[in-house]
Structure 1
Amino acid sequence: MPAFLLEIGLEEIPARMIAPAQAELARRVEDLLTRERLIDASEGLELHSYSTPRRLAVLVKHVHESQADTEEQLTGPSWAVAFKDGQPTPAAQAFAKKAGVDIAALMKTVTPKGEYVSATVHRKGRTASEILAEQLPKEIASIYWPKNMYWRAGKPERFVRPLKWLVAILGHQIVPVEFAGVTASNVSRGHRILHEGSITFEHAGDYLGQLEAAYVTADVELRRHRIRKALDAATRLIPGARWREDEPLVDTVTHLTEWPTVLLGSFDASYLTLPEEVLVTVMRDHQKYFAIEDAAGKLAPYFLTVLNTQPEEHGDEIIRHGNERVLRARFNDARFFWDVDQKTPLTARLEMLKTVTFQKDLGSYYAKTEANIAVAERLAGIAQQRGAAVDAAALITATRLAKTDLTAELVKEFTELQGIVGGLYARAQGLGESVAQAIYWQYSPAGVDDPIAPTAEGQLLGLADRFQTIQAMFSIGLEPSGSKDPFGLRRAANGIVKILAESGLPLKLSDLLAGTDEAVKAKLAAFFRERVEFYLREVKGFAYDVVNAVLAAGCDDVRDAIARAEALTAVRGSADFIAISAAFKRIKNILRQAEEKKITASTLAATLFADDSERTLHAHITEVDPQVVALSESRNYREALERIATLRPDVDLFFDKVMVMVEDEAVRGNRLALLAQIQGSFSSIADFSEIVTA
């Protein structure tokens, strides 16, 4: 069976959009071939996807040249409706036309529902070329891009960048796919600079080799590997040095290049007097350069740049000097802005915030700062009352000055340094290390993989700033909806949950929500519950049923919810706990059905126990309940759950011996009360009925 190759040639695609599109194109091609019976999964799928800034490609081996013929049995109207007195009715004629057979070919089929008309339909398989030419344009057009563009006046197609060429080959044959006015051929293009002319593929399997000869490495992982090896090799030119590991930057330059090479450059060591954060940001975010550090981890006056070309002899010196010149200009700008900013201390910049808009309906950053201070003071007070060591004065100073670097020239030029610059300026201006650290770390964590601020003051500032933003936006109806979250409120809430989970602050979600308008508070509580669920499932990796069970018992204390989830995960596989979980499902269902029928539980009375199994179960509950309470108070949830699991024999015996919903109203009410006691006593850890047991 032949291989099938599809390549979409484009103008340069933004690096961040390439990997998702590559994966989606591969999925769409696989789904199409599977749906149309052109590949056989039982034979083992060999599908590979490739990409560079100028192309997306999929290569699939062992594709059928045509579909297999099929035979299908179609059932139509009832025989009585289709034939009257042995003659076909319009219903029979319509069915025969639909099935593509003569009236004489219709048959009678007896089913449990009666006699029906049927027909055997033979369908000849279509060729792969015909199917692919018809279906691939739809699949290509359906690829999701964060941003699309039109490039042909009056034409409907939109794509990330203008289409330049298409390659579609099945074995040796060209598949006549047409999209956006371009008809597929077997002709592609090599590297824009290093290769002149076109590339003609005689066979789909020639793809990688011929591109490599044209200075294009289409295999993304091979390109990534070559970049890392080249970075290592270039760094070895400096004794004792190493390039600073930066996987996101490696990923970016991988998707920016087709034929990557690495060049070592240097800069004047005098620039090292600038803060390292500034230098690395300029190199990384603005120039896509890798920083180099010495054996002690200190920044060295060198950088590495990944080129998308093969320098000619002596040409690398010209390229190196060009990159060094650009970097020198950027560093000079940074040093100039740093020096200018120092002439106006942060304390003098507070008034400037009155002219910086936070949000049009919520006022300036000065107003937000005042609101942040109120929240920070309240949270610090609660934390101190519960024994946390907090430098309240440093926290308030940091909160007051946290946004002042928005007026600094360095931040206007390098917006990625917001907060970091403020912290560096606070340290340089002698405002104290606690203040500097809090300002520096106020935006951490920016994502779920980032660390939280290392100090209590930084953590409290981060909580206050994020919560005030969320609360304010909700109060004017700007909460997230669906996939829309223009103000990043979910990200801010994720940061709050992460700080509460991973810091030592003795704070709960309800501490943040205290004092909020009741209508807004209900929305915020639901919103934060979603974010705790996200944290437990996506960040901590707990199973969905464990998360559901834990959240059903509450998530106000995030660290406590994590401890309960860890304990539940540890014991859920034991036979006793599985049985107890199943019993809790039964208890929950019985109590729910009783409530629906308006049958209420009475006050539990031992004198109404009619069977020894009731007495035994009640005695065991009475013994275990205080033990579970004590263990839960010390967050020894695993042992608490193991104690609960010891109820299994008595619960099993109870359900074997006793019917809860008996006619005797007093006995029935008492048994419902016993079940309610079990549910109420032990569901504070988790709702065990949520655990999947089969």
Structure 2
Amino acid sequence: MAEFLLEIGLEEIPARMITGAEAELGRRIGELIARERLADGDVKIVAYSTPRRLAVRVEGLAQAQPDVQEVLTGPSWKIAFPNGEPGPAAQAFAKKAGVDLSALEKTSNAKGEYVSASVLRKGRATAEVLAAELPKEVLSIYWAKNMYWRAGKPERFVRPVRWVVALLDSEILPIEIAGIKAGNQSRGHRILHGSSPIVIETPGAYLDALRGGFVEADVAVRRNTIRKALDRVTRSITATPGARWREDEALVETVVQLTEWPTVLYGSFEAEYLALPEEVLVTVMRDHQKYFAVEDAAGKLAPHFLTVLNTQVDEAGEAIIRHGNERVLRSRFKDAQFFWETDQKVSLTDRVAMLNAVTFQKDLGSYGWKTQRNLEVIAKLHELLQVRGFTAYDYAALEIAGKLAKADLTAELVKEFTELQGIIGGLYAKAQGLSETAAAAIYSQYVPESTDDVIPETVEGQLLGLADRVHTITAMFSIGNAPTGSRDPFALRRAANAIVKILAESALPLRISDVIAAADSQDSRASAGVHEFFVERLNFYLSDVRGFAYDVVNATLAADADDVRDAIARAEALTAARGSEDFLAISAAFKRIKNILRQAAEKGEVVSTTRPTDGLLSSPEEKALLAQASKIAADVTELRQKKNYLAALEAIASLRPAVDAFFDKVMVMASEAEVRAARLALIRFVLEGLSGIADFSEIVIA
């Protein structure tokens, strides 16, 4: 067995792009090995990355592809052997295949008789295959942003390629990527190791060789190193007993991809800044400086921070770096404090008029216009909820929140820290003595930002979030700004995902169509594609977020794609029921019924939509199916009203014996028109009467 190593050395890659690229390179090389038959038993593929490199190490490669016996098919026998003698076509085919004329054989298939030849294809050496295919795989990696760096050259990559290591065991593979020829020399840490090369003797020596150059290429090891260092350094902060760093998985992943040889040190700031809201302080530390916040044993923010360095320094160096980081953070906090105090001089209520000068979208209007439209949507949702008897919220507070929700866009603090919009509005509303319920709704109006987030805790926050997002979606659709392909510049998919999640996880008695209708006013002119857009997002939520099988999702949504919580309940019942043989048999029968009705429609048959009567049915099997289906349909209707979907599905599955007997004994497409019409009406009655929970024909039967 052979070992293989590929390392692509680059200028620093943006941290957010590294994880995906590392995974894709590993996947591409794995697919290449499988496609070219380079495996020698089990193959182990491990990918590595740092800000300056992507690497893959493979164990278990064969030295060469196995030989393969192939059967090549040529021209038809009659053309190749006219009058039974080999003609020009036979000679040309034999030459192409590399065999004698005597080795040609006759092969028959559905299309006729053809000339064939059995040929032994010698496998190529693994080194030859990799040398030919690797550059294409590397340069095909997807990057959100690419760049050219060689004048007149076609390749594009995230950053310029600076070195390439390609080894098969100890031999250098003769490949070239973006003008760089492969060798066995990598590079270490820019500062700690300098410019001298690191020689990689074999793939197995890769990690240790880089560690000698102050580079940890194993992401998992780097992550563990950082976490342990954060713990260790936090314990050294004696000024705050019980100090702990505030867990932040996303920030951990960011600093993992910003460093090659990470170390951690802590700094402090003046306690007076703790008078600012924690959200402001943490955002400054986390988003602007990549610092970890520190809290005391009670979970309250402490006047310290932790920073992850991409270097290793002595005590004197630590002191200098600590001082520099503290000075930068102090300056940031001073700015935030100034903006906070300045913003308080103008109330949120007075800021509403200022929204007329802030553009929401150039073809639609200002944020003042959007605020008015949001309030209209809120009013319509309120009316609908009152009709349905849902009163578990404070409408007056919701109106205040709707009016003031966007006012913080005019605040200096939000202009400086745009990621805090909404949050700052909620904090200002509370600081200015406005309704705490309204303040909480404003604070959470942009939650959830992703399907991993929780929804707003309050009903007022949920309704404000629904109104704001659905208005944005319908307004953008009305001017032709619907998402297309991978393009979604206005983040409408994210907005719709949030709406679906709120409808799924709240107690609001609202359907998708209710929310859309509330925003579909005369001036918004929402297109007919809005509802289909939401169905697509519900499909995504059920499959990608809730993890239901694709055929269960298709079956569920084919029956009803409007009530989100009901769709989840039906999908859960369908998942539980599909393990039953009777249920799978019924699903196959419903697929058969659907196909028969489709074919009948194509032939011009008019199928009655009313329940057939016994008088039109002649055989015992037809009568039994009608009787059983009628009884089960009544039971299913009652169970559906109680939302006892699993029991309803079990009842439907109990129809299997009657369905099996019907199809065993009865020819649906009988020659007599009246008989055929009655039987078509019967199976349509069965299909439509029992498909309210799901379209069972969508279930995949193994």
Q: TM-score, normalised by structure 1?
A: 0.94
Which position in structure 1 is the counterpart of 2:106?
110
Structure-1 residue corresponding to 2:681: 673
CA distance in 1, matches of 2:578, 2:179: 59
Deviation track 1:74-113 (CA, whole Å, cap 9, x = no partner) reads 3433455446789865434533443345xx5553312226
Q: CA separation of 1:232/1:425 partners in 2, compared to 1, >3 Å: closer, same or farther?
A: same
Structure 2: how far apart are the matches of 1:611 and 1:69? 63
**Equivalent in 556, 564, 567 of residue 558 of structure 1:** 564
Q: Is the 8 A contact 2:478 2:527 kept in 1?
A: no
Distance 1:221 1:410, change over 3 A: same
Distance 1:521 1:620 in 2: 44
Q: Distance in 2 between matches of 1:489 and 1:193?
A: 44
Structure 2 match to 1:321: 323
> 1:646 and 1:410, CA in 2 relative to 1: closer, same or farther beyond 3 A?
same
Q: Which amino acid aligns with 2:699?
A: I
In structure 2, distance between residues paired with 1:284 and 1:612 = 75
Are residues 574 and 426 of structure 1, via their aligned partners in 2, closer, same or farther at CA, if it must alter by over 3 Å? same
The match for 1:375 is 377
Shift in Å, 1:118: 4.8
Cα contact 1:264–1:302 (8 A) shared by 2: yes
Moved more, 167-176 or 443-452: 167-176
> Could you tell me how far 1:73 is from its partner in structure 2?
4.3
Does structure 2 conserve the Cα–Cα contact (< 8 Å) formed by 1:264 and 1:320?
yes
Residue number in structure 2 paired with 1:98: 96
Q: Which amino acid aligns with 1:298?
A: K
Q: In 1, Cα distance between the equivalents of 2:635 and 2:701?
A: 26
- C-alpha contact 1:96 1:106 (8 A) present in aligned 2: no
Contact 1:105 1:119 in 2 (8 A): no
Q: 1:478-516 CA distances to partner (integer Å, 9 max, x unpaired)? A: 111111111111111111111111111111112123245
Query: Is 1:189 the equivalent of 2:187?
Result: yes
Q: How does 1:353-502 map to 2 (within 5 A)?
A: 353-389=355-391, 390-502=393-505
The 8 Å contact of residues 474 and 525 in structure 2, kept in 1 or not, is answered as no
Give the 3 Å change call, closer, same or farther, for CA 180–648 of structure 1 in structure 2: closer
Counterpart residue identity of residue 189, structure 1: R
Q: Which residue of 1 aligns with 2:697?
A: 689
Counterpart Cα distance in 2 of 1:692 and 1:495: 30
5+ long unaligned stretches in structure 2: none
Structure 2 CA distance for aligned equivalents of residues 77 and 511 of structure 1: 64
Distance in 2, Cα, partners of 1:606 & 1:118:
62
8 A Cα contact 1:513 1:521, kept in partner: no
Change (3 A) 1:650 1:129: closer
CA distance in structure 2 between the aligned counterparts of 1:341 and 1:278, rounded to whole angstroms = 14
Residue of structure 2 equivalent to 1:661: 669
- Tell whether 2:223 aligns with 1:224: yes
Q: Check conservation: 1:149, 1:161, Cα contact below 8 A.
A: yes
Contact 1:7 1:56 survives alignment (8 Å): yes
Q: Contact 2:77–2:106 at 8 Å: present in 1 too?
A: no
Read off the aligned partner of 1:599 and give its amino acid letter. E
Pick the aligned partner of 2:604 from 593, 598, 608. Answer: 598
Alpha carbons 2:44, 2:58 under 8 Å: kept: yes
**Does structure 2 retain, via aligned residues, the 8 Å contact 1:341–1:408?**
yes
- The corresponding residue for 1:513 is 516
Specify the SS of the correspondent of 1:585: helix
Shift of 1:345: 0.9
Q: 1:615 aligned to 2:614?
A: no
Q: Is the 8 A contact 1:106 1:119 kept in 2?
A: no
3-state DSSP of counterpart to 1:13: coil
CA–CA separation in structure 1 for the residues paired with 2:178 and 2:594: 59
Q: Conserved in 1, the CA contact under 8 Å of 2:187 and 2:197?
A: yes
CA distance in 2 between partners of 1:608 and 1:79 (Å): 58
1:523-538 matches, within 5 Å, as 523-538=529-544
Q: Secondary structure at the match of 2:528?
A: helix
Cα pair distance change 1:615/1:417, threshold 3 Å: same
CA distance in 2, matches of 1:129, 1:640: 61
1:27 aligns to what? Answer: 27
Q: Is contact 1:106-1:117 (8 Å) kept?
A: no
CA drift at 1:579: 2.4
Return closer, same or farther for 1:519/1:108 CA change in 2, 3 Å cut-off: farther
| Per-residue deviation, 1:669 | 2.9
Equivalence for 1:522: 528
What is the aligned partner in structure 2 of residue 138 from structure 1?
Answer: 136
Aligned equivalents of 1:190 and 1:585: distance in 2? Answer: 62
Tell me the residue number matched to 2:3: 3
Task: Give the equivalent residue in structure 2 for 1:152.
Answer: 150
What is the distance in 2 between the residues matched to 1:156 and 1:594?
56
Contact 2:503 2:511 in 1 (8 A): yes
**1:299-318 correspondence to structure 2 within 5 Å:** 299-318=301-320
The amino acid of 1:577's aligned partner reads F
**SS at structure 1 position matched to 2:201:** coil
Instruction: Work out the CA distance in 2 between the residues paired with 1:493 and 1:440.
Output: 20
Letter in 2 for 1:319: I
Moved more, 455-464 or 80-89: 80-89
Distance 1:537 1:83, change over 3 A: closer
- 1:57-96 map, 5 Å: 57-78=55-76, 81-82=79-80, 89-96=87-94
CA contact (8 A) 1:108 1:116 kept: no
Q: Tell me, what secondary structure is at the counterpart of 1:112?
A: strand
1:261 Cα deviation after fit: 1.2
C-alpha separation between the residues in 1 aligned to 2:469 and 2:644?
Answer: 32
Distance 2:625 2:122 in 1: 69
Alignment equivalent of 1:545, drawn from 535, 541, 551: 551
The alpha carbon displacement at 1:18 in A equals 0.6
Q: Is the 8 A contact 1:249 1:288 kept in 2?
A: yes
Give 1:199's aligned residue.
Answer: 198
CA contact (8 A) 1:73 1:119 kept: yes
Residues 1:193 and 1:585: Cα distance change in structure 2 (over 3 Å)? same
Q: Equivalent residue for 2:635?
A: 627
Letter in structure 2 aligned against 1:8: I
Counterpart contact for 1:466–1:493, Cα < 8 Å: yes
For residue 625 of structure 2, what is the amino acid of its counterpart? Answer: L
Displacement of 1:124 in angstroms is 4.5
**Residue 211 (structure 1) aligns with:** 210
Q: CA RMSD in A?
A: 2.2
Structure 2: which amino acid aligns with 1:107? A
Q: Do the aligned residues in 1 keep the contact of 2:2 with 2:62 (CA within 8 Å)?
A: yes
Are the structure 2 counterparts of residues 607 and 94 from structure 1 closer, same or farther at C-alpha, using a change threshold of 3 Å?
closer
Structure 1 residue 528: deviation in Å? Answer: 0.9
8 A contact 2:8–2:55 mirrored in 1: yes
Separation in structure 1 between the aligned mates of residue 671 and residue 36 of structure 2, nearest angstrom: 61
Deviations 1:564-596 (A, max 9, x none): 111111222122222222222232223323322
Cα separation, partners in 2 of 1:179 and 1:589, compared to 1, 3 Å:
closer
CA deviation digits over 1:285-338, x for unaligned, max 9? 111111122222221222211111112233222222221221111111111110
Contact preservation (8 Å) 1:107, 1:117: no
Aligned to 2:44: 46
1:18 aligned partner, one-letter code: I
- Alignment partner for residue 577 of structure 1, among 563, 572, 583? 583
% identical aligned pairs:
64
SS at match of 2:61: coil
